[in-house]
Structure 1
Amino acid sequence: MSPQLLFRRYLSVVALLLVCGVATADESPPLTLEAATQKVTQDNPDLAQMLARAQAMAAIPAQEGSLPDPQISFNAMSLPVEGFDTRREDMTQLGFGLSQAIPFPGKLALKEQAAFHDAEMASLNADEVRLRLISDVKTLWWQLFYLDRALEIVDSNHSLLQQFVDIARSKYEVGDGLQQDVLLAQLELSKLLDQKIGLTGLRRSTAARLNALLDQPANQTVQIPTTVSLQLPVIKAEEQLYQQAENARPLLASERQGIHAAQSRLDFAQKDLLPDFMVEAAYGARSNMPDGTRRSDLLSLGVSMNVPIFAGSKQEKAIDQRTSELMQQRYSLQDKWNAVRAQISQTHSDYQRAQQQFVLFDTGIIPQARQTVASMLAGYQVSKVDFLNLVRSQVTLFEYETQYWKAFTEAQQALAQLTADVGEEAIYE
C-alpha cells in the first residue's frame, strides 16, 4: 500500500475519532421518565399560569367578606358668602362626617363562601392540569422509547437483509441462484430505508412536542434510556377505579366546588331581597359669637336602608338566574362523571389488550418467527427453500418485533392515561 494511501486513511480515522469525540461531548445524559415528569411539574408554563391563577383566586374570599370602606366627609354648612365669617350666623358650622354601609347580616358570609369555592375550583383545576401534563409527558416519552426500539429493529433487519443480499449474490455468481433474488433483497433494503426515514421524522416531531411541554427548545436533543423494566403490573378492577376516581379526581372535586359556589350565590340572591343599611354620624363644630358667647357643637346620627321596590324585575330575576346556574353545575358534574367512567373503562380495556398482546408476542409469536427465519435461511443456503419465502419470513419477523414493542409501549401509555383518569397512582393490585 502506498504511503499516500496510508496517510489518507490515517486522516480519515483521525477525523472520525474527532467527530465521535465531539458527539460524545455534546451528547446529553438520557432523560429518564421520572426526570421528565418532575421537570414538567416545575417548568411547564401552562401549569405555572394555572397555579398563579389559583393563588390570585385565593386572595378574593377575604375581600368579598370584608365590609365596604367607610366614607369620611367634610363640609361647611350655612357659611355666609359676605366675608365667610363663621361667627356671624348661628347656623354656620364646620362638619365632619363618617358613614358605613352595612349589608344585611349573612350577605357578606355568602359572598365569601362563593369566592372560597371559586378559589378551591381554581386550585383543583391546576391539579387537573398537572395530571394531564404528567400523562402527556409519559405518553410522549414512551412514544420516543418505542421509536428508538423500532429504529434499532430497522437497523438490525437491514444488516440481516444485507447478509441475504450477499448470500444471494454469491449463489448467483456461482450459477446456483437467480438474479431476481438479488434484486428482491435490494428492494426490501430500500423499503427498510423508507421506513427508517419515516420513523426518524416521527421521532423528531415527537421530541419537539416533548420539549415544548418541558419548556425546552423544540430542537433540543432528547435521549431516552435504552433499557427499562419489561414487567407489566396487574391493575385493579374497573369498579374499584370508579370509586377511587370519585374521591381522587380533581376534575370531579372541582365540579362539586362549582355546585357549592352556585348554591352560595343562590342563597345570596334570595337574601338580597332584604335591605342593606347605611349608618352615618356627623359632627358640626360652631365658632363662638363675635361677643364671645359660646355656641354648642352639633352631633347628627342617622340610619338609612335601601328599599327593594323593583324586586320583580331585579332581585327575583337574579334568583331565577342563580337557580339555573346551580342546575347547570349539577348537570355538568353528572356529565363529567359519566365521561370519567367511560374513559376509565376504555383505558382499562386498552391496557388489558396491550398487555395480552405483549405477552403473546414475547412468549409465542416472536420465538416461533425467529425459528422460522433460521430454518428458512439454513434451507436456502442448501437450495431447499425459495428466496422469496426467506425474505417474507424475515419481513414478518421484523413486523412482529415492531408490534411487540408497540404493544409494550401502548400498555405503558395506557397506565399513564389511567393514572390521570383516576387521579392518583394507586391503580395497581
Structure 2
Amino acid sequence: MKRHISFYSRAAICLLKQFARVTIHRRWLLLSAIALGAANSTVYANEYGSAPVLSAGSAVEAAIRDNPNLAEMQTRYEALAEIPSQVGTLPDPMVSVNAMNFPTDTYERDQEAMTQFQVGFSQVFPFPGKLSLKEEAAEYDARAAGHSVDESRLQLIKNVKSKWWQLYYMDRALETVDSNQALLRQFITVAKTKYETGKGLQQDVLLSQLELSRLMDQEIQLEAIRRNQAIQLNILMDRPANDPITLPDKVSKMMPNLVDESELYQKAASVRPRLKQMETQIDAAKSRLDLAKRDYYPDFKLGVTYGDRTGDNPLPRGRARSDFVSVMVGVKIPLYAGRKQSKAVSQKSLELQKNRYALLDEKGLVTAAISSAVTDYHRAKKQYSLFGSGIVPQAQQTVQSMLAGYQVSEVDFLNLVRSQMTLFNYELQYWKALSDAKQALARLEAAVGEETVYE
C-alpha cells in the first residue's frame, strides 16, 4: 500500500508544479483541497483506531476462549460422557412393604393365620450382554459429541479468520477510496482554476465532482459493510456488537505452496473431526442393532419377601405361628416379537444403513470443499501476483502518462479521470485478491481438519 500512497503523492506534486504560477488565492484553494484529503484520512484512522489492534491470531484465541456456541457443544459432550455408566448399571432394585390379609371386622394381627406384615426385595436382571451394549452405544455417542466439539472449533476458527480478512479488505478499500477522494478534490481545484482562467471546460469540473460523489457513495457503502462484518466478528468473540475493531496495517502477505490435492484428501479422511464423528455414529448404530437383536431374549426378575406373623396356631399344635419367606422368579416373554422386537431390529438396521450413506455423502462434500478451496486459493494467489507486479504498476504508469499529457494539453480531463478510476478499481482488486486467498486458506484448513496443508 505504501507504493500506492507514494504514487498519489507524486501525482499531487505534478499537479502542483503545473499550476505553481496561479494566483495566491488559487494556491490556497489547492492546498485546502490537499489538506481536506489528509483530514479525511485522519478522521478514518481515528474512527477505527481507538481500540487495541486485533490480529487474526488474537481474534481466534478470543473466539475459542469465549464463544458461547462452542462452550455449549463442550458442555453437551461432557453431559453425554456421564451417560454410559448410567445405562450400563443394573436397574435400581425395588423394596416393598405390604400389610396382607387383615380381617376387616377387627383388623387384629393375631385373629387370622394368614395375616402378616411383609418386607420384600426385587431386582430386574437384563439378559446377559444387554447392559454392556447399552453402555457401549452411549460411549460411542459421547465420542461422537467430542468429535462434534472439534468440528465446531474448526468451523469457528474458519469463520473468525474469514471475517477478519474481510475486515482487513474493507480497511484497505476505505484507505484507497480516501486517497482517491483526496486526489479527485485536487482535480476539482485544478479544473476550476483552468476554467476560471479560460483554459479549461466547465464539464471537467462537473465530471470530477460527479466522480467524487460516486466515491463518497462508495465510501458510505463500504463503511456500512465494515460495520456489519465487525458486528459478526464481535459476536463470534462474544464481545459487545458495537465494540470497535482495529486491525494492523501490516500483515503477512506470504502465499505458501499447497501440498498435492490427493494428499489433502487422505489427511481429511484420517483427521477431519466431522468424518470421525460420523464413523463413531456408525459404531453406535451397530451397537444398537446388536442390542435390538438381544431383545428377543428375556429379562429376568428375582424377588424375595419376608412375612411377619403373630398369634398362635389352634390346637392340637398350639405353637406360635411361623413367619413366611417367599421367593419369586419372573421372566419377560417376547410374546409380540413380530410387532415389536422384529420391527426394532428392522429400524436399527435401516438407521445403520442411513449412517453409512451419510458418511459416504459427507466424504464427497469434504473432497468437494477441499477442491473448491484449493481452486479459489490458486485463483486468488495468481490474481494477487498479477495485480501487484503487473496491472497496478502499469495502471500507475498510465495515470502518470495521462498527467504528463494533461499538463501539455495533449490529454483531455475525461481520460485523466477515467485512468485514475481504473487504477482505483485495480487497487481494490489487488486487496480483494489478498483477502480471498487468505479466506480460501482458512476454508481449506477447516475442510482438511488441520493447518498443515502447506509443503
TM-score, scaled to structure 1 = 0.91
Do 1:88 and 1:290's aligned partners in 2 also have CA atoms closer than 8 Å? no
Equivalent of 1:131 in 143, 150, 154: 154
Which residue of structure 1 aligns with residue 224 of structure 2?
201
Task: Say whether 1:247 aligns with 2:273.
Answer: no
Do 1:97 and 1:283's aligned partners in 2 also have CA atoms closer than 8 Å? yes
Describe the superposition over 1:290-334 as per-residue Cα deviations: whole angstroms up to 9, x where unpaired: 898344333222211011121111100111111111111100111
Task: Say whether 1:59 aligns with 2:88.
Answer: no
Moved over 6 A (4+): 23-26
1:324-403 equivalences in 2 (<5 Å):
324-403=350-429
1:48-127 equivalences in 2 (<5 Å):
48-127=71-150
Shift of 1:288: 5.2
Describe the superposition over 1:360-400 as per-residue Cα deviations: whole angstroms up to 9, x where unpaired: 11111111111111121122112122222211111111111
Describe the superposition over 1:229-263 as per-residue Cα deviations: whole angstroms up to 9, x where unpaired: 11111122211111111121111111111111111
SS of equivalent residue, structure 1 residue 233: coil
Shift of 1:189: 1.2
AA matched with 1:349: T
AA matched with 2:157: I
Do 1:113 and 1:264's aligned partners in 2 also have CA atoms closer than 8 Å? yes
Taking the aligned partners of 2:147 and 2:360, their CA distance within structure 1 comes to 17
SS of equivalent residue, structure 1 residue 59: coil
SS of equivalent residue, structure 1 residue 219: coil
Shift of 1:114: 1.2
Taking the aligned partners of 1:353 and 1:24, their CA distance within structure 2 comes to 34
Taking the aligned partners of 1:177 and 1:80, their CA distance within structure 2 comes to 125
Taking the aligned partners of 2:109 and 2:220, their CA distance within structure 1 comes to 96
Taking the aligned partners of 1:208 and 1:111, their CA distance within structure 2 comes to 45
Taking the aligned partners of 2:109 and 2:341, their CA distance within structure 1 comes to 47
AA matched with 2:213: S
Equivalent of 2:70 in 24, 47, 54: 47
Do 1:265 and 1:322's aligned partners in 2 also have CA atoms closer than 8 Å? yes
Number of residue pairs matched by the alignment: 410
SS of equivalent residue, structure 2 residue 248: coil
Taking the aligned partners of 1:300 and 1:336, their CA distance within structure 2 comes to 59
Equivalent of 2:206 in 183, 188, 206: 183
Do 1:118 and 1:257's aligned partners in 2 also have CA atoms closer than 8 Å? yes
- Structure 2 gaps of 5+ residues are 1-38
SS of equivalent residue, structure 1 residue 319: helix
Identify if the C-alpha distance between structure 1 residues 26 and 293 changes in structure 2 by more than 3 Å, giving closer, same or farther: farther
Taking the aligned partners of 1:171 and 1:290, their CA distance within structure 2 comes to 135
Which residue of structure 1 aligns with residue 337 of structure 2?
311
Taking the aligned partners of 1:52 and 1:308, their CA distance within structure 2 comes to 39
Taking the aligned partners of 2:189 and 2:419, their CA distance within structure 1 comes to 18
Choose 95-104 or 209-218, whichever is displaced more: 209-218
Shift of 1:89: 3.5
AA matched with 1:185: S
- Structure 1 gaps of 5+ residues are 1-15
Shift of 1:26: 9.2
Choose 330-339 or 35-44, whichever is displaced more: 35-44
Taking the aligned partners of 2:47 and 2:221, their CA distance within structure 1 comes to 25
Task: Say whether 1:260 aligns with 2:286.
Answer: no
Do 1:88 and 1:289's aligned partners in 2 also have CA atoms closer than 8 Å? no
1:158-173 equivalences in 2 (<5 Å):
158-173=181-196
Choose 322-331 or 297-306, whichever is displaced more: 297-306
TM-score, scaled to structure 2 = 0.86
Taking the aligned partners of 1:86 and 1:290, their CA distance within structure 2 comes to 13
Taking the aligned partners of 2:94 and 2:299, their CA distance within structure 1 comes to 16
Taking the aligned partners of 1:382 and 1:53, their CA distance within structure 2 comes to 74
SS of equivalent residue, structure 2 residue 382: helix
Describe the superposition over 1:122-142 as per-residue Cα deviations: whole angstroms up to 9, x where unpaired: 222222222112111111111
Taking the aligned partners of 1:176 and 1:208, their CA distance within structure 2 comes to 50
Taking the aligned partners of 1:399 and 1:63, their CA distance within structure 2 comes to 64
Which residue of structure 1 aligns with residue 297 of structure 2?
274
Describe the superposition over 1:259-292 as per-residue Cα deviations: whole angstroms up to 9, x where unpaired: 1111111101111000000011112223352898
CA RMSD of aligned residues (A): 2.1
Taking the aligned partners of 1:235 and 1:179, their CA distance within structure 2 comes to 55
Taking the aligned partners of 2:320 and 2:210, their CA distance within structure 1 comes to 119
